[in-house]
Structure 1
Amino acid sequence: MNERIHHVLEFDKIVKRLCAHTETTLGKERAQRIKPYTEIEKVNEKQSETDEIVHILRLNKNIPLGGIFDIRSSLKRSSIGGVLNAEECIQVASTIYGGRQTKNAIESLEIDIPLLKGLAEKIKSLRPLEQHITRCIDDQGDIKDEASSKLKNIRSAIRSYESRIRQKLNELTRLRSKMLSDAIVTIRNDRYVIPVKQEYRATIGGIVHDQSASGQTLFMEPRIVVELNNKMREGKMEEKREIERILTELTQRIAEHRLELEQNIDILAKIDFIHARGKLAQEMRASRPTMNHHGFIRMKQARHPLIKMEEVVANDIEIGKEFTSIVITGPNTGGKTVTLKMVGLFTLMAQAGLQVPALDGCELAVFNHVYADIGDEQSIEQNLSTFSSHMKNIVQIMEDMDEQSLVLFDELGAGTDPQEGAALAIAILDEAVSRGARVIATTHYPELKAYGYNREQVINASMEFDVETLQPTYRLLIGVPGKSNAFDISQRLGLSEHIIERAKSHIGTDSKSVEQMISSLEQSNIQAEKDYEQAHRILLESEQLLHELKQAVVIFEQKRESLFKIAEEKAQKAIEKAREEAEIIVEELRNMKSHAQIKEHKWIEAKKALDEAEPTLVKEKTASQTMTEQEDVELAIGDEVKLISLNQQGTIVEQLGKNEYFVQVGMMKLKVKRKDLMLVGKREQAYVNPVATVKGKQYHVKNELDLRGERFEDALLELEKYLDDALLAGYDQVYIIHGKGTGALRKGVHDFAKSHPSIDSYRSGKINEGGNGVTVLTLK
């Protein structure tokens, strides 16, 4: 894949955006060299690397890449005998430290990122080398006094000389201030001097190092400090020699670790490059495509990455299974070229390890070559290509393409006689299809509208156009050839109807039939999309209801088991208490029996106490016994029943026939056969439909329910039961206290209120009612 294809499909612009996300010059250099791979194993590896970074970014984690420098030239000089300066040495130390930070950050992440952790594992710590450098050089690149004991002594001596020189000069300026232009001590030629007036030169005495522009002031080194200045200068030369020795030693140590350092910066460059790919994917809201080597492309809601997010129109595109070629027809400015470029650009991006801006489930193929002949007014250079230049490019494509090629033709056959151009376009497409290549072509020629109907591997497509607004929608319609909208547009713009009718009369019968067929296909396609969307929405709602029902059954079973456990514990405690009381009674009876005279009423009282101590246990009937006994039991509206198949309890609200009933279970009303029902309890009074509004002030219940601290599922079950009690109590308005917290319980209460038949409306509480921590329900 040559650079021309990258330029034509605007892959170079993607590379530029990728480079902007790199943190180091090393990573940027890698990003600039990015290229598509043609081996599917390599492509999948690169996609996995990018996906690992996307996973990290999705968790709001960060990989530090600061303080890393391109030290390759320094390492090379150190290995051939050169001496690195202090700044170069400190850059080496900073890179070692930055690499260790990157290594630790990746290895500390408790997520499945095997490729990144494998890279991080190869980074060498090299802490001793880093510490040795930082002990000698500070962050500003200056050699520290502690770099060597000799350097420390030299600098101490230099500071002593400087102090003595300043002391003498300050004393001189104080005593001879009238002879000086200014009472200051300054430096010329690395020696301390004072500004002396010209006429007092002989009086001060010493060496002249400089003079003012007017010549009235001389910068003189007085005789009394010449010797001290000489000693200080010697000290500075000795300091310089010691610094050179220290830097030479540091350079040698760095050279000893050249291979480890080169490996480190190579790995850090790769991590930065991968990190940039992940950041770009996050910016484009991209997803990882599934790759194949069968030439199959399926793009879901794909968006051109170089068009603004708020303006781009997403499209579904599929090619490679039922058909291997797509011919997109229709007028200009409809988005044909953008769609064509997007398919090619997605292919290059995916094969280079970049994620693509489309929904999850996108699938792309790995091609050995991507060819494109795109050069109309929508090209990057805004350069109008001639027919000959188009044909020269097409000739080269026809020579090189094979079954592992993706070929993109824009305005195939344009730039020459329409009849000859259309014939040439058909012949070129036939040849490309016969070679097994994947082909997408755009054209203006009406002759190609019927092309897809005569070829098994070819399908027509077009860009949708809204006649009402006279604007393209940029939506791709697969299976529908493009229709001319010239008459519709002209009529909308006000052209006289008799002129339009006269124009239509010049259109041949075949053209009219094709246009009518296209209109019919468009309408069928639009209706099919609407039907699909409605069916999909109903399916999602059904799945949600099924999920909620299953969840409710699980919660019910858990609660029932909990209640059974509590009941068993209570029964056990009752039995133990009864045994203790029985033992006491038996002991009393024994004591009574030991006496010769036992009064009758004493025996009666003891026996009564024994009877009362025995716990009353209700024996559970088996399912077969219960059903046998209930086969002939008549059920009536208002009876409490159990749905055997769902293991749920409800209330009969309507009898549909002799053996079929409507049963209210929570918020749902189900149609149930008699054989699936078991009577739990007969109604005690005239039946009241639970959905209807029944009010009675004698029914005592508070007008508020506190759900704070409850589990989400338990809270909703408690809310449902409370509403039944509140309705019976006759309340028009109740307060549900759920607290603020994360907002999950509040949302659950609001969703519950939306669908409950007995709730007229709901709102959040006012400030004096508890604010967002309370929901106020208005009951019907």
Structure 2
Amino acid sequence: MNQKALKTLEYHKIIGTLTEYATCDSGKELCRNLVPSTDFHEIVLSLKETSDAVTRVRQKGNLSFGGVKDIRPSIKRLEVGSSLGIVEILSISSLLTTAARAKAYGRHEDSELPEDSLEEFFRLLEPLTPVNTEIKRCIISEEEVSDDASPGLHHVRRSMRSINDKIHAQLNSILNSNRSYLQDAVITMRDGRYCLPVKAEHKSQVSGMVHDQSSTGSTLFIEPMAIVKLNNDLRTLEIQEQKEIEMILADLSNQLAPYLEELETNFNILTKLDFIFAKAALAKHYNGSEPVFNTKGIINIKDGRHPLLDPAKVVPINIHLGREFDLLIVTGPNTGGKTVSIKTVGLFTLMGQAGLHIPAFDGSELAVFEEVFADIGDEQSIEQSLSTFSSHMTNIVQILSQADSNSLCLFDELGAGTDPTEGAALAISILTFLHNMKCRTMATTHYSELKVFALTTPGVENACCEFDVETLKPTYRLLIGIPGKSNAFAISKKLGLPDYIIEDAKTHLEAKDETFEDLLTHLEENRVTIEKERMEIEAYKREVEQLKNRLTQKEERLDENRDKMIRSAREEAQRILREAKDTADQTIRQINKLAKDSGVNKELEAERSRLRSKLQDVDASLSLKKEKSKSQKGIDPKKLKLGDGVKVLSMNLNGTVSSLPNAKGDLYVQMGILRSLVNISDLELLQEESVSIPGGKGNSKRGGSGSSSTRISKSLSISPEINLIGMTTDEAIPQLDKYLDDAYLAHLPQVRVVHGRGTGALKNAVHKHLKKLKYVKEFRLGVFGEGDSGVTIVMFK
């Protein structure tokens, strides 16, 4: 990529901002050296890495690489077997600590998340935790090695502390006994040895070695003879201490030597990650998105914002190029945003090919170009004696000699700086040459001839930067497909230029120019009208969408309330049904007790009436709350016959029809010993065969005694089981005997006698009685699902 285009499009300013986001020196160096790539796959991978880093930062926060130091010189020294210094070892430790932190950051907490392009970087990091732990144990800081780094160092430093204590004790004793001879009551150090500041006139009073004197000569720094040996011993220990430290550093260097490859890999990966996360930080700074790249020369920027303009003031622009047309001519007044438009396209292309996100809407497309050429700004050079036109033309000549179908060319005010007629003709010729080469080109101009050229040439399109004549301010919106007006007359009139001058100026226009300007005015008026209508339509669409959303929310609330009401009604129905069942059970038990005695018809009938009344109340309560099953079908009263098996839904009991329904649909249903008046709407016809009504012939097998009407009566009223639980043996046997007679007469094949487990006395009495009955074929205890040993199944002959 040519350096002139990078400078003209201010690419270096983007790189400067990017470099600030890198946290280590090597990462900053990568940022500074970043240039746009021309390899499609490399660009796509680089953008993917940036996007993945943005995602990780959004999920886990930022990752700092400030601890990454350049350890490459230290690695070279380790290769040749040299020992490293404290600072070098600490730099390696800092690198390993950063590697450990980065590796932990790179782990996915959710194993189901897909791997991204950064996964391999984090996986290849080797923190070398044991070695790093040993370094941290031995070295406290750049100036201090831990006492516990080695036994030898620990012993030497303990001896040094002991001698120091002796020296201070001796010096304090001398200081206190000779205070009048001393300049100050302090202990000082000279040449690494402890001394006392003695007045010059009392030099003979303190025996020892003179190490220094003050600038005035009034004070001598004397090492008393009493501590000379102690100072010598201390100096010897200091030498031993340094040797121990060198041994420790040599040992740590030997521990690091086998991991030279891992150290270099860690450094390279962390540098690369710092660079990638700097790109992610830049994307966040510019609120950028990943552009979609293609090799077809197609550019489609959606709501692009030039990154170097104030984000609060910049107006997003939409530009497309390379699909229907490959040459775009942008016209319009000065300060209208034409130059910003072509700079945005050029800078976005450079940023995208460098793997950087662009400040535009998601889904913006960019193309890979081998070269980007830009002739923008005032190229006048006084030193080279070049006019504006000459300097521009020199640049254009170089561009034309290098541009091809894989290039993007950007021209600002093409052909300006010379005679308008010649400049326009030259500009058309240059653009025609580039257009024939299929070179993607954008050019800004004021020349009307270029507007006509764009209107009449296939593959060339006009565009303009919108200008509000009323406010004399540009809107900075780029409108593709519409040529721009210079608006010179309108602006001059708005600024106060007399009308007669403006009218005179119009007379100097050629007829074709005036007609063309009128056409542009008409097009502009139509565009403004269409734009207003489009905005109104968009507003109506938004309003309709809002109304639709509100209606949908209202329907959802209604559905939710309806579901709540249905649930509440069902719960209430279940409660009423449980209450009805409890009442029915209580009533049945009461009827059983009353039936044991004779002469209780009135009481029995009263109890039955009370039960019917209660069940009718239940029916009335459920009629408002019960939601019938979709699969349930109503019973046709005309098809209902006596003896049909039905289920009473409100009581959840099976029974047989004992009377046909009246005009209101009410009929009697026999449920065991309970006979109740119910409505046909509360019944469900059972799929089982109806209870048979035997005829006169062929039914003499089970007893010839009793007429047909007796058998019908029994078959309608008998239950398939009898419950004897709670009765004594004397109470149960008569009840059982009468029930078995009725069941036999009703031609039931078998019945179920419920006697419960208890002590077994009732069961034994039942079995003893069954053995005496001649019409009982056999009997057995119930199995699982029938009641087990609490039930006896009786089969008739």
State TM-score, norm by structure 1: 0.76
Is 1:41 aligned to residue 41 of structure 2?
yes
Question: Cα–Cα, structure 1 residues 625 and 69, in superposed 2: closer, same or farther, change >3 Å?
Answer: closer
What is the match of residue 3 of structure 1?
3
CA contact (8 A) 1:334 1:463 kept: yes
- Percent pairwise identity: 42
Distance 2:570 2:468 in 1: 71
Higher-Rg structure is 2
Partners of 1:624 and 1:538 lie apart in 2 by 46
Change (3 A) 1:182 1:559: same
Q: Which residue of 2 aligns with 1:644?
A: none
Closer, same or farther: CA 77–15 of 1 in aligned 2, 3 Å: same
Q: Write out aligned runs for 1:647-686 (5 A).
A: none
User: What is the Cα deviation at residue 2 of structure 1?
Assistant: 2.2
Rounded to whole Å, the distance in 2 between the matches of 1:378 and 1:83 is 60
Match of 1:499 in 2: 501
Q: What pairs with 1:484-563 in structure 2 (closer than 5 Å)?
A: 484-563=486-565
Map of 1:156 onto structure 2? 158
Q: CA deviation at 1:404?
A: 2.1
CA–CA distance in structure 1, aligned partners of residues 401 and 20 of structure 2: 38
Pair 1:85-2:85 in alignment: yes
Aligned counterpart for 2:294 among listed residues 287, 292, 312: 292
- CA gap of 1:378–1:539, structure 2 versus 1, over 3 A, is farther
CA distance in 2 between partners of 1:517 and 1:296 (Å): 31
1:258 is matched by which residue type in structure 2?
L
CA change 1:74–1:528 in 2 (3 A) is: farther
Q: Structure 1 pair 528/119, CA: closer, same or farther in 2 (3 Å)?
A: farther
Give the aligned residue type for 1:196.
V
The more displaced of 391-400 and 192-201 is 391-400
* Cα drift, residue 377 of structure 1: 6.8
Aligned length: 625
Cα deviation, residue 11, structure 1: 0.6
Q: Distance in 1 between matches of 2:378 and 2:54?
A: 37
What SS does structure 2 have at the residue aligned with 1:20? helix
Aligned to 1:352: 354
For the structure 1 residues 150 and 586, does the alpha-carbon distance in structure 2 shift closer, same or farther, using more than 3 Å as the test? same
What root-mean-square deviation, in Å, do the aligned CA atoms of Structure 1 and Structure 2 show?
2.7
How has the CA–CA distance of structure 1 residues 459 and 202 changed in structure 2, closer, same or farther, with 3 Å as cutoff?
same
The residue number in structure 2 matching 1:762 is none
Q: 2:408: which partner in 1? A: 406
Q: Is the 8 A contact 1:451 1:460 kept in 2?
A: no
Letter in 2 for 1:44: V
Query: 1:17: which partner in 2?
Result: 17
Contact 1:75 1:254 in 2 (8 A): no
Taking the aligned partners of 2:387 and 2:307, their CA distance within structure 1 comes to 25
Aligned partner of 2:647 in structure 1 is none
Distance of 2:552 and 2:522 partners within structure 1: 44
- In structure 1, which of residues 419, 435, 438 is the aligned counterpart of residue 421 of structure 2? 419
1:96 is aligned to 96
- Which segment is superposed worse, 531-540 or 613-622? 613-622
Distance 1:591 1:217 in 2: 130
Deviation track 1:314-352 (CA, whole Å, cap 9, x = no partner) reads 211111111111111234332222211111001111111
What are the superposed Cα offsets for residues 2-40 of structure 1, whole Å, 9 maximum, x if unpaired? Answer: 222211111110000111111211221111121222233
- How do 1:637-656 residues align onto structure 2 when only pairs under 5 Å count? none
In the TM superposition, what is the alpha-carbon distance from 1:408 to its structure 2 partner?
0.8
Between the aligned partners of 2:43 and 2:117, the Cα distance in structure 1 is: 14
Corresponding position of 2:242 = 240
Contact 1:52 1:113 in 2 (8 A): no
* Aligned positions of 1:236-385 closer than 5 A: 236-376=238-378
**What are the superposed Cα offsets for residues 679-738 of structure 1, whole Å, 9 maximum, x if unpaired?**
xxxxxxxxxxxxxxxxxxxxxxxxxxxxxxxxxxxxxxxxxxxxxxxxxxxxxxxxxxxx
| Counterpart AA for 2:396 | I
Q: Tell me if structure 2 keeps the 8 A contact 1:63–1:102.
A: yes
Q: What SS is found at the alignment partner of 1:37?
A: coil
Q: What amino acid sits opposite 1:11 in the alignment?
A: Y
Q: Give the drift of 1:191.
A: 0.8
Map residues 687-706 of structure 1 onto 2, 5 A cutoff.
none
1:675-754 matched pairs, under 5 angstroms: none
Structure 1: segments with no counterpart, 5+ residues: 627-780
Q: In the aligned structure 1, how far is the partner of 2:81 from the partner of 2:632?
A: 100
Tell me the distance in 1 between the aligned counterparts of 2:629 and 2:194.
113
CA distance in structure 2 between the aligned counterparts of 1:167 and 1:53, rounded to whole angstroms: 63
CA distance in 1, matches of 2:387, 2:259: 56
Give, as a single letter, the amino acid of the residue that structure 2 aligns with 1:201.
K
CA 1:483 to 1:499, structure 2 compared with 1: closer, same or farther past 3 Å?
A: same
Q: Does 299-308 or 53-62 show the bigger shift? A: 53-62
Distance 2:231 2:487 in 1: 95
What are structure 2's unaligned runs of at least 5 residues?
634-797
- Deviation of residue 113 (structure 1)? 6.0
Q: CA deviation at 1:276?
A: 1.4
Partner of 1:436: 438
1:207 equivalenced with 2:209 (yes/no): yes
SS across alignment from 1:364: strand
| Counterpart in the other structure of 2:71 | 71
**The residue matched to 1:577 in structure 2 has which SS?**
helix
Find the aligned partners of 1:413 and 1:395 in 2 and give their Cα distance: 13
Quickly say closer, same or farther: Cα 1:437–1:187, change in 2 above 3 A. same
Cα contact 2:415–2:426 (8 A) shared by 1: yes
Residues of 1 paired with 2:630 and 2:134: CA distance? Answer: 83
CA distance, structure 1, for counterparts of residue 476 and residue 27 of structure 2 = 37
Q: CA deviation at 1:96?
A: 0.9
Q: CA distance change for structure 1 residues 482 and 596 in 2, over 3 Å: closer, same or farther?
A: closer
Contact 2:2 2:372 in 1 (8 A): no
Give the AA of the match of 2:36.
Answer: P
Cross-structure match for 1:115: 117
Displacement of 1:108 in angstroms is: 4.7
**Counterpart position of 2:576:** 574
SS at structure 2 position matched to 1:361? coil
Cα 1:243–1:564 change in 2 (3 A) is: same
Contact preservation (8 Å) 1:375, 1:384: no
Q: Does 1:472 align with 2:474?
A: yes
The normalised TM-score by structure 2 is 0.74
What SS does the aligned partner of 1:414 have? coil
* Compared CA separation, residues 446 and 599, structure 1 to 2 (3 A): closer
SS in 1 for 2:145: coil
Look up the match of 2:680.
none
Alpha-carbon offset, residue 601 of structure 1: 4.9
The 2-side partners of 1:592 and 1:569 are apart by 35
Structure 1 residue 624, shift from structure 2 partner: 14
SS in 1 for 2:21: coil
1:168 positional shift: 0.9
Q: Deviations over 1:458-483 (max 9, x none)?
A: 11122222222333332222222221
Q: Which amino acid aligns with 1:43?
A: I
1:99 partner amino acid: A
Contact 1:161–1:232, Cα closer than 8 Å, also in 2: yes
- What secondary structure, in the 3-state scheme, does the structure 2 residue paired with 1:442 have? strand
Counterpart contact for 1:123–1:263, Cα < 8 Å: yes
Is the deviation greater in 549-558 or in 79-88? 549-558
Q: Which amino acid aligns with 1:23?
A: T
The alpha-carbon deviation at position 609 of structure 1 amounts to: 2.4
Alpha-carbon separation, structure 1, partners of 2:459 and 2:3: 31
Residue identity matched to 2:92: V
SS in 2 for 1:73: helix
Kindly indicate whether the alpha-carbon contact (under 8 Å) linking 2:380 and 2:387 is maintained by their aligned counterparts in 1: no
| Superposed displacement of residue 44, structure 1 | 2.1
The one-letter code sitting in structure 2 at the alignment partner of 1:85 is G
Q: Secondary structure, in 3 states, of the residue corresponding to 1:138?
A: strand
Give the 3-state SS of the residue equivalent to 1:371 in structure 2.
strand
The whole-number CA distance in structure 1 between the counterparts of 2:26 and 2:607 is: 100
- Structure 1 448/212 Cα, relative in aligned 2: closer, same or farther at 3 Å? same
Structure 1 distance, partners of 2:491, 2:60, is 51
Partner of 2:31, secondary structure, is helix
One-letter amino acid matched to 2:81:
G
SS of match in other structure, 1:257 = helix
Q: Distance in 2 between matches of 1:211 and 1:295?
A: 83
SS in 1 for 2:140: coil
